[in-house]
Amino acid sequence: PQVKYLRDYRPPAYWVDTIDLNVELKETDTLVRSTLTVRRNTDEADETTPLILNGRNMELMSAMLDGNPLSEDQYQTDAEHLTISDVPARFTLETTVKIQPQQNTSLEGLYRSGGMFCTQCEAEGFRNITWFPDRPDVMARYSCTIVADRKKYPILLSNGNLTDSGDMDDGRHWVRWEDPFKKPCYLFALVAGDLFCLEDTFRTQSGRDVALRIFVEHENRDKCDYAMQSLRKSMKWDEEAYGREYDLDIYMIVAVNDFNMGAMENKGLNVFNSKYVLAKPETATDADFWNIERVIAHEYFHNWTGNRITLRNWFQLSLKEGLTVFRDQEFSSDMTSRPVKRIADVRVLRAYQFPEDGGPMAHPVRPASYIKMDNFYTVTVYEKGAEVIRMIHRLLGPEGFRKGTDLYFERHDGQAVSIEEFVGAMADANGADFSQFMRWYSQAGTPEVTVKRAYDAENRTYALTFTQKCPPTPDMADKAPMHIPVALGLLGRDGEDMPLQLRGESEPGPTTRVLELRAAEETFEFVNVPEAPVPSILRGFSAPVRLRAGYTDEEQAFLFACDSDEFNRWDAGQNLFAKVMLRLIRDIRVGTAPDLRPDMIESFRQTLRNTDLDKSFIAQALTLPTESELAILMSESGDIDPDAIHAARHFTVRTLAQALKSDFEQVFDENRDAGPYRVEPEAIGRRSLKNLALGYLGKLETPAVSRFIAAQFQKADNMTDEIAALSVLSHMDCEEREPAIARFYERWQSDVLVLDKWFALQAAARLPGTLDKVKALLEHPDFSIKNPNKVRALIGAFCGMNPWRFHDASGAGYEFLADRVIELNAINPQIASRMVAVLNHWKKYDAGRQALMKTQLERIAATPDLSENVYEIVSKALA
């Protein structure tokens, strides 16, 4: 497999100005005729430069240059390219190919999902549809005529505006779409099917009416309202927050069941995994609703950050993804609760991105090389990319940031650009210098920031000395210091923020200051500090770093009780709980009886019963670090021990449940839903807290408790409560468990999305015998290995969310995963490579588990016809 390097990038030799497609959809062979107008890029090429087009899995039926059939000696084809050697400076090229979408299980290019046809072209799927320079810097104007059976496919969609349509006398019909905006081919889309359409309109700030259409299978017609509402909110928010107005007269969203990712921002025609569209209270949880709003917004925001301004090459992916994630995070914060959203995002970053940054797949936010681009749609490019944008936002302030985006849109609309153009606009609009800051884009690894504190009572000064160090990663040994914004406050003994005055300043400033670290070691000195403070460092998680502040338990408990910064307040609690559990892990491993200190139980209780705090916040604060999060912490100082981690966490939860039983019962009662189900922050907060209490109570595992939980399950009138109760039961060895699982299936067997929850919950169960159950479920008639949601629900949940059972010392979990990866490799390489990545961290376990994981990685590596996707992950893991 060939490695592609950023440093090798050259602009294309030929531009394509227009492409006209004619797609004849049939049950077997689909015919695609494409007419390109091509123009030589004279900066890069001369008359000796051949035209090279990408294509694969297609049969070339004919090719004509300026209307003349190409003879055999004028062109060459191999498995991936069509090369035409002698071409004029401008010409038209017409090719006709035959493709087989009904056999396309990779879900890349044109494929079938149930009764419909749909496409997924990002990153390099367009080359499965027709011959084309499949790279994002070639931007063309598209027109597309779709021809298909009228009965089976009454709805025929592509990008842009519908300009013409007609009937044929053989029962087929045709529709013509034209997209007035030029775009790279990864934004092309086509959909054909028999679909229900929910319609609405949106009036833009300049007074234009945009038709909004959501297309779903007829049976889902009652599950589109929330998605529509989310779309309208997103459109309004982008006008208000960024001054960005929608540009076409129509915006379409199509929900499909078979989809590799969450959704795709194709111009004017988003294609969505149905999971991020379909919802009603009986079938979707609070988390589902929140995700729908977020993903709808994300894809909508791409219209400006991704589509109008697109990428020069795939290395720049974070230019659109990091920025668009930042935008959707801000949108969600405005729609819900800012601190709770921030906590949820940082949880994801630490649980997935930090390990990625410390493992074999570590790569900078702008990767320098790749084998298969699909492997780089990562938490680093997306979530760390968003953190980098957030730091720019922090350094410039909201107004400076907005000046920067205004300039970016003004300068680069209609262009394919690089990250330099974005940061350049930020710098120019504000007269700022981001040259050192650019290292965030080129250096992988999570920087470690250590803080030393010194209070001088006599001079009333307080000095903080920061040192930063970025660990080596497989791609780079030595790292230069980064430009790190550290938001900071100082708490007095009374728990209040102190006024902050740095040495050299004439008067105190605001109580949260942003210190900018630039050197490997730096000291900041505060003056007029009346007493030794407790510092609250990295407020709001102002930089994606690991902080080593050397807090005592008492200081952490103090911050957990008093910090005015809610993020740091939550973080102090998590750090304290994690520290306590890491000590328990040590005790368990050496055979000491574990014990929980009464002051920890008391501090937990005070937060649980605190009526001044937002309920969603309390639920986040009292959700203990997960087994996976503890594994990450444990790996920082030795081998991960999944058994001891499970035992310590189980002990902690159970001890809290025993000690605070009546508190949990009371919290449960006080937070029952008063009226009908509503997706509103206050109601969501009550449900989160109520179900948190239920989860703790479940750990008591008495017959009375299991009866109580089963009763909650029976009574639930919404999916949030129903699944919460069932998932508590799923971990319990009680007589109510099986009947509840069976009843859930009977009730929901016709709803594929709800069944995903049913599969996932059984796979995540901590009971012994779970692996056998998972294997049996592979044979269940509602399971299909060809459907990515089902794979994620059953295989993903077992291997990713059930670390104790997956890492069973027998190695049975590893063998199971490898079997599935080998099976998936032949069906859907993108999904196979996502699944195999669970084994990336094999070197962090004990020698026995390491050997077992390595054996399976080697078995996968030796599989014949290994896809580039899986090869890249496995070879890096084994290196």
- Known catalytic residues are 299
Closer residue to ligand B3K (CB): 367 or 533: 367
Whether omega for the bond prior to residue 543 falls within 30 degrees of 0, making it cis, is no
Q: Are 545 and 447 in contact (CB under 8 A)?
A: yes
Identify which of residues 305 and 337 has a Cβ nearer to ligand B3K in the complex: 305
> Nearer Cβ to ligand B3K, position 314 or 651?
314
The site partner of 734 among ligand B3K, Zn ion, none (C-beta below 5 to 8 Å per kind) is none
Binding to ligand B3K by CB under 6 A, coded x per residue (else -) over 304-333, reads: -----------------x------------
Distance CA 387, CA 173 (A): 48
Question: What does the alpha-carbon distance between residue 355 and residue 28 come to, in Å, rounded to a whole number?
Answer: 44
Q: Amino acid letter at 334?
A: D
Closest CA to 185 of 236, 78, 110, 82: 110
Q: What is the 3-state secondary structure (H, E, C) of 125-144?
A: CHHHCCCECCCCCCCEEEEE
Say how many C-beta atoms besides its own lie within 10 A of residue 504's C-beta.
Answer: 7
381 binds ligand B3K (CB under 6 A): no
**In whole angstroms, how close is the CB of 274 to ligand B3K at the nearest point?**
15
What minimum distance in Å lies between the beta carbon of 204 and ligand B3K? 22
Specify the DSSP class assigned to residue 1: -
Rounded to whole angstroms, the Cα distance separating 849 from 860 reads: 17
Partner from Zn ion, ligand B3K, none binding residue 455, C-beta < 5-8 Å depending on class = none
The option from ligand B3K, Zn ion, none interacting with 264 (CB < 5 to 8 A, set by class) reads ligand B3K
> What part of residues 494-533 is at the interface with ligand B3K (CB under 6 A)?
none
Find all residues with CB under 8 Å of 421, minimum gap 6, and list them: 408, 411, 412, 415
Binders of ligand B3K among residues 29 to 68 (CB under 6 A) are: none
Taking the complex as a whole, the smallest distance from the CB of residue 480 to Zn ion amounts, in Å, to 30
Closest CB to Zn ion among 265 and 497? 265
Q: Select 324 or 727, whichever has its Cβ closest to Zn ion.
A: 324
Q: Which does 377 bind (CB under 5 to 8 A by kind): ligand B3K, Zn ion, none?
A: ligand B3K
The strand ranges marked E within 633-753 are: none
The first and second tokens of residue 337, run together, are 């609760």
CB atoms under 10 Å from CB of 847, counted, come to 8
Counting contacts by CB under 6 A, is residue 122 touching ligand B3K? yes
Amino acid at 774: V
> Which of residues 189 and 261 has its CB atom nearest to ligand B3K in the complex?
261
Q: How far apart are CA 121 and CA 107, in angstroms?
A: 9
Q: Which residue type, as a one-letter code, is found at position 858?
A: E
Counting contacts by CB under 6 A, is residue 805 touching ligand B3K?
no
Q: How far is the CB of 331 from Zn ion (least distance, A)?
A: 13
Rounded to a whole number of angstroms, the minimum distance from the CB of residue 119 to Zn ion is 17
Residue that the structure tokens 């990250």 belong to: 419
Asked if 264 touches ligand B3K (CB under 6 A), the answer is yes
Name the segment binding ligand B3K (CB under 6 A); options: 258-266, 406-414, 493-501, 735-743. 258-266
Select from 288, 328, 357, 374 the one that contacts ligand B3K (CB under 6 A).
Answer: 374
Q: Strand 196-203 vs strand 448-456: parallel, antiparallel, or unpaired?
A: unpaired
Distance between CA atoms of residues 454 and 465, nearest Å:
8
Determine the size of the site formed for ligand B3K (CB under 6 A).
Answer: 12
258/374 with CB nearer ligand B3K: 374
Contacts of 54 (CB under 8 A, 6+ apart): 80, 81, 124, 126, 127, 131, 132, 133, 134
CB of 107 to ligand B3K, least distance (A): 10
Q: Taking the complex as a whole, how short is the minimal distance between the CB of residue 821 and ligand B3K, in angstroms?
A: 18
Please state the closest distance from residue 352 (CB atom) to ligand B3K, in A: 16
**Least Cβ distance, residue 263 to Zn ion (angstroms):** 8
User: Which residues 212-251 are close enough to bind ligand B3K by CB under 6 A?
Assistant: none
Helix, strand, or coil (residue 241): helix
Residue 88 exposed, middle or buried by CB count within 10 Å (0-12, 13-18, 19+): exposed
Residue 377 makes contact with ligand B3K by CB under 6 A: yes
Give me the half-sphere count of Cα atoms (radius 13 Å) on the Cβ side of residue 555. 14
Q: How far is the CB of 348 from ligand B3K (least distance, A)?
A: 15
* Residue closer to ligand B3K (CB basis): 381 or 640: 381
CB of 262 to ligand B3K, least distance (A): 6
Residue closer to ligand B3K by CB (options 486, 831) is 831
How many angstroms separate the first and last alpha carbons of the chain? 16
Whose CB is nearest to ligand B3K? 122
**Binding span for Zn ion by CB under 5 A among 78-86, 280-288, 320-328, 720-728:** 320-328
Q: Which amino acid is at 620?
A: Q
User: Would you say 251 and 162 are in contact if contact means Cβ atoms under 8 Å apart?
Assistant: no
**How far is 296 from 302, CA to CA, in rounded Å?**
10
* Residue 97 binding target from ligand B3K, Zn ion, none, CB below 5 to 8 Å by type: none
Identify whether the C-beta of residue 622 lies closer than 8 Å to the C-beta of residue 608.
Answer: yes
Distance of CA 475 to the CA centre of its chain: 24
Residue closer to ligand B3K, measured from CB, 386 or 549: 386
* 14-53 positions binding Zn ion, by CB under 5 A: none
Q: Is 687 in the site for ligand B3K (CB under 6 A)?
A: no
Contact positions with ligand B3K (CB under 6 A) in 637-656: none
Distance CA 322, CA 333 (A): 16
Question: Taking contact as CB under 5 A, which single stretch among the options 90-98, 319-327, 503-511, 623-631 is the one that binds Zn ion?
Answer: 319-327
| Residue numbers 276-305 binding ligand B3K by CB under 6 A | 298-299, 302
Residue 118: in which H helix or E strand, if any?
strand 116-120
Q: For residue 791, what are its two tokens?
A: 């794979």
Q: Which is nearer to ligand B3K, 246 or 466 (CB)?
A: 246
Does position 261 bind ligand B3K by CB under 6 A? Answer: yes
Among 94, 134, 217, 265, binds ligand B3K (CB under 6 A): 265
Six token digits for residue 84: 């035409």
The span of 313-321, 334-342, 395-403, 748-756 binding Zn ion (CB under 5 A) equals: 313-321
CA angle 174, 178, 184 (to 5 degrees): 120
The binding site for Zn ion (CB under 5 A) comprises 321, 324
The binding site for ligand B3K (CB under 6 A) comprises 122-123, 261, 263-265, 298-299, 302, 321, 374, 377
